[in-house]
Amino acid sequence: MGAPGAGKGTQATSIADYFGIPAISTGDIFRANVSQQTELGRQVEAILSAGDYVPDELTEQIVADRLDQPDAAKGFLLDGFPRTMHQVGALDDYLDARGIQLDAVLVLDADPDDLVGRLLRRAQLEGRADDTEETIRHRMDVYLRDTEPLLGHYESEGLLAKVAALGTVEQVRSRIVATLDRADGRGAIDDVS
Ligand code: AMP
């Protein structure tokens, strides 16, 4: 988990490779469907451009279908899901029904104002269509309103680990690996700053 611009996507693939499990990014799934102009892509295109959240039921169904694929049977890393309390409930139901437990909920921790600055620079460099200044600020507001409260929920479950998101990609990666190696197989974890 983490606010827009915290570096979730960059870290998710390499961390998943390290553990030999798939990285499942709802943002990537939606973007791929938009660029391929699938039925789903047409449904979500305007939502992504506005920086709003795709409806819970639709997002939850996509994640459940992806988790049902054989490559997720030995473990998985969710990138950008869950983002709402409703999605937390859906994920809990999915996992409970299969007797699976999350090992850790990792948040890339950074100051929202620093992240807005980072996203504005990235938007200039990459020209991402969903990265206008207005959209960036809106995405941050939506995150703070709908998603940040989930951190308290996972903290109370003893699953939350905060990792400082600032630094080089390699520094952040090392912090994450150290944190998750400690969490592996035991569930309770400490903060690494
Ligand atoms: P991301 O790349 O994770 O920032 O996701 C890009 C966009 O996809 C978000 O701004 C949302 O519009 C949508 N999205 C990704 N994950 C979710 C989710 N769990 N719930 C609702 N919308 C999502």
Res 186: pLDDT: 47
Q: What pLDDT does residue 118 have?
A: 85
Residue nearest to atom 2 of ligand 1 (CA): 27
Amino acid 182: pLDDT:
80
pLDDT at res. 129: 62
- Block means of pLDDT (10 residues each) for the chain, 193 residues, are 94 94 97 96 95 97 98 96 98 97 96 91 77 89 97 96 94 94 58 49
Is the C-beta atom of 26 inside 6 A of ligand 1?
A: yes
Identify which of 42, 43, 1 has the alpha carbon closest to the alpha carbon of residue 25.
1
pLDDT of residue 184: 64
81 lines ligand 1 (CB under 6 A): yes
99 by Cβ neighbours in 10 Å (0-12 / 13-18 / 19+) ranks as exposed
Complete DSSP assignment for the chain:
-B-TTS-HHHHHHHHHHHHT--EEEHHHHHHHHHHTT-HHHHHHHHHHHHTPPPPHHHHHHHHHHHHTSGGGTT--EEES---SHHHHHHHHHHHHHHT---S-EEEEE--HHHHHHHHHHHHHHH--TT--HHHHHHHHHHIIIIITHHHHHHHHTT-EEEEE--S-HHHHHHHHHHHHHHHTTT-----B-
pLDDT of residue 67: 98
Pocket test for ligand 1, best of 47, 83, 137 (most atoms within 8 A of CB): 83
Could you tell me the domains of the chain?
8-182 (3.40.50.300)
